[in-house]
Amino acid sequence: MKLKFVLLALLSFAAASQSYAQSVCCLLGSSSLSGLGRPITGNLNTTWEKGLLEDHAALIKLFKVRPHMFYLEEEGGPNAFSTNEVFPDLLAAEGVTEKDSPDGTIFLGLKLIQMEARNTKGSLFSLPAILAHEFAHSVQFKTGCLLQGKKRELHADYIAGYFIAHRARFRKQSTAQAAKNFFAKGDYMFNDAQHHGTPEERWNAFWAGYQLNRASKAPSGVYAYNQGLIYLRGLS
């Protein structure tokens, strides 16, 4: 599908700031879809991709929500985002139908992946946490979550922490590296609509979700989602 069509499709639901906030959630707070970049269909055939696809499948199994995942050549800086929009032409290019992936779309930027590879010295243990954060937004879209702004982002951080603990049960994982990723992406732009939480708030939300999973005998996406809401009620 041509880039022009993708941009128009995305921009069509970004007209009002409130509806935009409910439709698109970016990892680093960027709200400029006009500089989105080029979506990539198909596999990259990299050494890390197999693990990422397995993580995506594990998230679907845990939360019973089915967003599709694409890579993105960003025009701007490194980023990732989730939207409740489905792109039939992109799905068709991968031999997938809307019935297979009805719950929106996740885009992971290649610049972001390259940055994480540098920051983690090639281990990319932070990448599953980033994917889980964006997946959490897909769950929020599906459930009609009413959280806005910082609390919506911290709820996604909580769910990401829960998934990383779940993942560590059956795959090699550096929890410290994953948590550090959220701490590093915190900000102090309190008056900005795209404020995602301070480094401490993002770290704490991630760690609370992680601890919940560690204390649970059986993983449950619904339980994690609801406990995340309860956690947020205790924040000012």
> For the segment 123-137, what is each residue's pLDDT rounded down to a tens digit?
888 899 999 999 999
Structure tokens at 200: 């401490």
Structural domain count, the chain: 1
% of the chain beyond a pLDDT of 90: 48
Domain that residue 138 falls in: 3-233
Residue tagged 């128009």 (tokens): 8
pLDDT (0 to 100) of residue 42: 86
What is the rounded distance in angstroms from the CA atom of residue 191 to the CA atom of residue 126?
Answer: 28
Residue tagged 């599908």 (tokens): 1
pLDDT digits (tens, 9 = 90+) for 31-64: 334 467 788 888 887 888 988 999 999 999 999 9
Mean pLDDT of 59-85: 92
Higher pLDDT, 18 or 96: 96
Q: Over 90: is that where the pLDDT of 160 sits? A: yes
% of the chain beyond a pLDDT of 70: 78
In this structure, of 132-136, 157-161, 168-172, the range with the lowest mean pLDDT score is 168-172
Q: Over 60: is that where the pLDDT of 2 sits? A: no
**What mean pLDDT is reported for the chain?**
80
What is the rounded distance in angstroms from the CA atom of residue 25 to the CA atom of residue 156?
Answer: 10
